[in-house]
Amino acid sequence: MINSTHYSSPIGEILLASKDNKLIGAWFEGQKYYMANINDKLVEKEDKTLINTKNWLDRYFIGEKPSIDEVDLAPEGTDFRCEVWKILCEIPYGKTITYKDIASMIAQKRGIEIMSAQAVGGAVGHNPISIIIPCHRVLGSDGSLTGYAGGLNRKIFLLRHENCEF
């Protein structure tokens, strides 16, 4: 069973989901890959994880910089996707990185010559925990605003909210 609740953000409704006291999802209503990998029944019930996540989001949207470590995260995905999401968690507030940078980091870690930036893009796009795992901080290699599962308007809002240069 998965506990869930809704959060009203300045850029739309977000469905929050937790399992075993860990956050497994934060999706904008109607976003691409909405609730992907969720096979259990959702129950509308706020637990301490969801209350904590709402508090985190409240603080984020009023301009504070809450730490990602304040929310116990458990995104579900392939080993490769989880590896990419872990790198996303290390991108500092107000900073950006490119898909190519992430691909280079993974290639170096694995001791291989090259990793596909497109494969990284696919993993970034499937991030199930929007905002908190900051996939909005990833740009194209030329600094362009490439796709965002929640929509480019939301990505632009989040980057401006954090005073990111793009």
Instruction: Give the bridge partners for 27, in sequence order.
Output: 15
Half-sphere exposure of 69 (CA within 13 A, CB side): 2
Is there a contact between 23 and 57 (Cβ–Cβ < 8 Å)? no
**Residues 6+ away with beta carbon under 8 Å from 39:** none
135 is catalytic: yes
Is there a contact between 137 and 91 (Cβ–Cβ < 8 Å)? yes
45 dihedral zone (left: phi>0; alpha: psi -120 to 50; beta): beta
Cα 41 from chain centre: 22
Kindly report the number of other CB atoms within 10 A of residue 58's CB atom: 13
Q: What SS3 class is residue 68?
A: helix
Active-site positions read 135
